[in-house]
Amino acid sequence: METLKRARNLKPIDQRAKNLIMFLGDGMGVATISAARVYQGQLKNQPGEENILEMETFPYVALSKVYNVDAQVPDSAGTGTAYLCGVKSNSGTLGVSAAATYGVCETANGNEVTSILHRAKLAGKSVGIVTTTRVQHASPAAAYAHSANRDWYSDNEMSSAMIAKGCKDIAYQLVHNTDINVILGGGRAYMTPRGTPDPEYPTSTSSQGLRKDNLNLTKTWLDQRKGSVYVWNKAQFDAVNEKTTDYLMGLFEPKDMKYELNRDRSMDPTLAEMTEKAIKILSKNPKGFFLFVEGGRIDHAHHDTNARNSLTEAVEFDKAVQVGGKLTSESDTLTVVTADHSHVFTFGGYTDRGNSILGRAPNRATDGLHYTSLLYGNGPGYKIVNGSRENISNIDIGGDYRQQTAVPLSSETHGGEDVAIMAKGPQAHLFHGIHEQNYIAHVMAYAACLEPYKDCPPNSGFLISSSITLLLTTLLTSLMW
């Protein structure tokens, strides 16, 4: 009855959004959300099924169709271009239209598309990126880079011919393309000259700088921005005064940040802590802000078929969503939680209420062996012992255990089904059904009156007229701005 009462009293917030926050759970399909809900509850010593994630409290829910222009099952670059730039593109390409050819660097020229982060900056807002991956990774890079290949993190990954044609790597574009106020995540190695010792792992050759052009992009970023701060460990991060800092770059690992279960708590902040720091810095701007927050390693653990790591990352992601809600107001901040794609991850087995989400199903399979409730359709968890499936009755299925898979692959694949969009705040009601993924960027731009939208919500509540609705619908049918 209470749920129905809340639904009946729900009214759209029909005004302009001052702030925009996009929370992106990389690889966080619906099955992952469901399993993470149970896992979070069980971490609180509850049965888990009736637990409610913070993201699940959002009043408006829709589905996103995640295919790329050239791919039925997408990758994180093509999807990032869709939800951040409002344009469907080819798999593996960043911030460019489908006219660009994957791997042909010069085809990005003239085919660049502009992200909502860049549009927000042009409108005078402060902007930021927070991720648990390297900041040059596909999802965050779609906010600022234009590249025919998502893997060109630095010029080390590019050929001399590409460089001679004037093609720029993603780290270079991070520093030069858009004036980003807050950049937090991993990725130190792509910012410094080849052979530069890493400050945290000075004797590790695999952690050294990678750049062939001898540029120190961290120094470049600092030199170009008055009053900017660079940090690489948690002590420095904690010491940053949000009230006096307008520009902050924090790179806490040479490449991706560590899984939460392996995180050095004395050296690296959590995703929630980075989110809090970012919002406190960005929210000083009276014109508002745009913030992109990615729980990027949900995806990586799924690729490894390690459900415990993936669900832990999803729970940490939800903590960041909760922080975002506490530090902003639903009246002026449009918050969107979504995923770029799902994984071939399943949750079943007729388990009893309260059964450990990482545990075994109660019955044996037709081969007489136990199996876990969580499984994968493909991936490295495939294991045959003496001609049959591995017997897991007496082995530890916690820790780094890889859930069993049906098809052997070195890395588990993405899934192609729709993913959830959860939204609250001004214009959140425009997420209302099943949408193309690029629709997300259009709604966020419309809500905040960013380019190309001129006929958009006023700063006080209003009812969208039929003519405005028609205009919005017409514009959103296009794959490009």
- CA dihedral of residues 479, 456, 329, 284 (deg, nearest 10): 90
Mark out the alpha helices in 191-330 (DSSP H runs): 217-224, 234-239, 271-282, 297-303, 307-327
Instruction: Say whether 373 is catalytic.
Output: no
How many helices and strands in the chain, by DSSP H and E?
Answer: 14, 17
Q: Which of 231, 308, 322, 236 is nearest to 271 (CA)?
A: 322
The DSSP line for 361-395 is -SS--TTS---BSEEEEEETT--EETTEE---TTS
The DSSP line for 47-86 is -STT---GGGG-SEEEEEE--BTTBSS--HHHHHHHHHHS
Supply the DSSP symbol for 352. P
Q: Which of 10, 35, 124 is nearest to 307 (CA)?
A: 35
Q: Which of 260, 249, 272 is nearest to 309 (CA)?
A: 260
Supply the DSSP symbol for 4. H
Sheet containing strand 228-231, edge to edge, reads 228-231, 247-251, 182-186, 126-134, 289-295, 19-25, 333-338, 419-424, 60-65, 434-436
Token reading at 342: 């799902």
Cis peptide before 47 (omega within 30 of 0): no
Q: Which of 76, 89, 91, 147 is catalytic?
A: 76
366 phi/psi in degrees, rounded to 5: -65, -15
Distance CA 297, CA 137 (A): 11
| Active-site annotation, residues | 76
